[in-house]
Amino acid sequence: MLDIKFIRDNLEIVTAALGKKGVEFDAASFSSMDERRKSALTRAQSLQAEKKKASRQVGVLIKQGMSPDAAKSQVMGGIDSDISVAESEAKEAEAALHDWLMAIPNVPHDDVPAGKDEDDNIEVLTWGEPVKLDFSARDHVDLGEPLGMSFDAGTAVAGSRFVALSGQIARLHRALAQFMLNTHIEEHGYEETYVPYLVNREALEGTGQLPKFAEDLFCIPAAQGDKDFYLIPTAEVPVTNLLRDSVVEAELPIKKVAHTPCFRSEAGSYGRDTRGMIRQHQFDKVELVQFVQAGQSETALEELTGHAEAILQKLGLPYRKVILCGGDLGFSAAKTYDLEVWLPGQDKYREISSCSNFMDYQARRMQARWRNPETGKPELLHTLNGSGLAVGRTLVAVLENYQQADGSVIVPDVLRPYMGGLEVLNP
């Protein structure tokens, strides 16, 4: 969440910055709630000071021979009741402002371009040349079904937007995940991390999915006593929350990588990408998460995005990198790069990774801190994450970019050790 003091001191800047995200910031409501909170706290503190002063007077009266009960009755009056009321009002005002701020998105970085939607994102670079085939390109559905990809089986078991993989293509899917993990661990310095696939409400509030985006999640009501569980929409949620309510004493940066399934309701995507694996309710992803100190997160974002790019380059998959405009920027993100891979079957670039810098926005919600060795004081961390990569979409990209005229698919060189030396997938 945003820092209250920063908002108070920069109302016009915050209002303009959130406007870049298409969000109308109600400065008047903020100021009103903030003033109510401060007034309630001031009254509670003032009454506590009065009670302290009165306590000294009680002591004087007792020394003069008055009974303790009589002295308290004479001096204290109803001050304890007044304090209770004032403290209750202060807590209510604090909670109201906190809940209101939880629904306010992060302010975009100065580098973020203005724009309404994905059409206004700006291309930063391209890598590789889009594949030109001398035959009519098939999409991954036509290529995959003879290789063991079954949407009918997925639908029969669970419903629409599910797929079942068998045989060669299931092994290729696993190979991709293992290749990504090994690359990030051995070459990029990430620590492999295994996390729960179910999380509580507090974890999702910490990373910003709740309270605003409940409809995008799969909730399991009252799964543990009176608490709801949620299927993770991304490993970002459990991995980032590993440092919740903590003060890190270790050296920064902390870099973690996790391979997990991800579950999304795809609310609002009715009619979009109904064919194939591009938009599924369940998919696998290798997620990169970094925790860094303030002042280092911009450099870390470039590094993390480069780690995701390295996977595409090793696989020989053409892609482009875009910086998201304000209107397409995520709720918690201050700045985001998307990597979009070339898909011959669709004759276009499609998103395969999203890499974001959240600054201290998530850390403030989670109270994730580190101890600055120079001052000895706890400071909020900066958090970042990115897909390194989405496994299913990478599978799609490999099938379409390495397809042959006879329907076979060449296995990229870097994946062959994970495929038992197999060089070609044959229908």
Residue 75 has pLDDT above 70, yes or no: no
Active site residue 351: yes
272 is catalytic: no
Catalytic option among 351, 371, 379, 416 = 351
Give residue 247's pLDDT band: very low, low, confident or very high (50, 70, 90).
very high
Q: Does residue 211 have a cis peptide bond before it, meaning omega lies within 30 degrees of 0?
A: yes
Of the candidates 161, 365, 369, 393, the residue annotated as catalytic is 393
Residue 45 has pLDDT above 70, yes or no: yes
pLDDT of residue 78: 75
Catalytic residue at 393? yes
Told to judge if 89 belongs to the known catalytic residues of this protein, a careful annotator would answer no
Confidence at residue 47, expressed as pLDDT on a 0 to 100 scale: 85
Residues in contact with 137: Cβ distance below 8 Å, sequence separation at least 6, in sequence order: 344, 345, 347, 400, 403
**Average pLDDT rounded to a whole number, residues 114-131:** 97
Cα→Cα distances 107→17, 119, 156, 330, 406, Å: 6, 21, 44, 10, 51
Closest CA to 46 of 78, 73, 88, 82: 82
Q: What percent of the chain has pLDDT over 70?
A: 98
Phi, psi of 381 (to 5 degrees): -75, 165
Distance CA 427, CA 420 (A): 18
pLDDT band, residue 60 (cuts 50/70/90): confident
Span 101-116, average pLDDT: 97
Mean pLDDT of 140-160: 97
Q: 295 pLDDT exceeds 90? A: yes
- The answer to whether residue 369 is catalytic is no
pLDDT of residue 16: 96
For residues 264-283, give the mean pLDDT: 88
Is 353 annotated in a binding site? The answer is yes
Q: For residue 122, report the phi and psi dihedrals to the nearest 5 degrees.
A: -110, 125
> Mean pLDDT over all residues of the chain?
95
Residue 276's DSSP bridge partners are: none
β-partners of residue 257 are 192, 288
At residue 61, the pLDDT reads 77
DSSP 8-state class, residue 127: E
Mean pLDDT score, 57-84: 77
46 is in an annotated binding site: no
Q: Give the residue carrying structure tokens 């009670």.
A: 51
Spatial CB neighbours of 415, under 8 Å, sequence gap ≥ 6: 172, 175, 176, 179, 315, 398
Question: pLDDT digits over 351-406, tens only?
Answer: 999 999 999 999 999 999 999 999 999 999 999 999 999 999 999 999 999 999 99
Q: Is 235 annotated as a binding residue?
A: yes
Confidence of residue 49 (pLDDT cuts 50, 70, 90): confident
Q: Taking a C-beta distance cutoff of 8 angstroms, is the pair 262, 237 a contact?
A: no
